[in-house]
Chain A
Amino acid sequence: AQTVTQSQPEMSVQEAETVTLSCTYDTSESDYYLFWYKQPPSRQMILVIRQEAYKQQNATENRFSVNFQKAAKSFSLKISDSQLGDAAMYFCAYRSADGNEKLTFGTGTRLTIIP
């Protein structure tokens, strides 16, 4: 079974600065997908970024980028130019590429933005 680990329960960053959230995972599969989801106080889950394991290039979405290290099974999220609206719980998630749609989530990191 796959597991996803987020070792930072809480992080804080000064507004406009850069922060990196860590995520590691364990799998025996060679093809899979990795995600970062944001859950603001409204509790609505929002997809931030998606990475396909067979792609070596790190995914980027505006101020959000990932550092995907497949051999190390590491998938960190970098948020640049942090904004107050970035404050939320961030969950790392794993999904197999074998047709099983199940998402396995990490325990989450609460990000606080300091004005």
Chain B
Amino acid sequence: EVQLLESGGGLVQPGGSLRLSCAASGFTFSSYAMSWVRQAPGKGLEWVSAISGSGGTTYYADSVKGRFTISRDNSKNTLYLQMNSLRAEDTALYYCAKRSGSAAAGISYFDYWGQGTLVTVSS
């Protein structure tokens, strides 16, 4: 059974940093691309970042480019999102999502999602 468990969310002041983690199990982690998708309170879904199965290719939404960094440790079956220079508009529930293929920009959909970790940016 595929399981994705996010952690690391919390309350942070504007301009601060936070590192999210997503522990994966139930599949061959290194064989699949992964993504972060966020959902602001009461709003829709927004794709944030993607990484290939090998970790060698990454993509970012314009809204987070230059501030967020996605990475993965395939030996630990764990996905990360380092978030710097946080803004109020980054407040959201952050989901880790498994992609159905291995390439970061490949034609693949999100077939499994974690339960999310809440990030609140406020002074």
The finding on whether chains A and B are genuine partners in a shared complex, rather than unrelated, reads: no
Chain A interface (Cβ < 8 Å from any Cβ of B) = none
Chain B interface (Cβ < 8 Å from any Cβ of A) = none
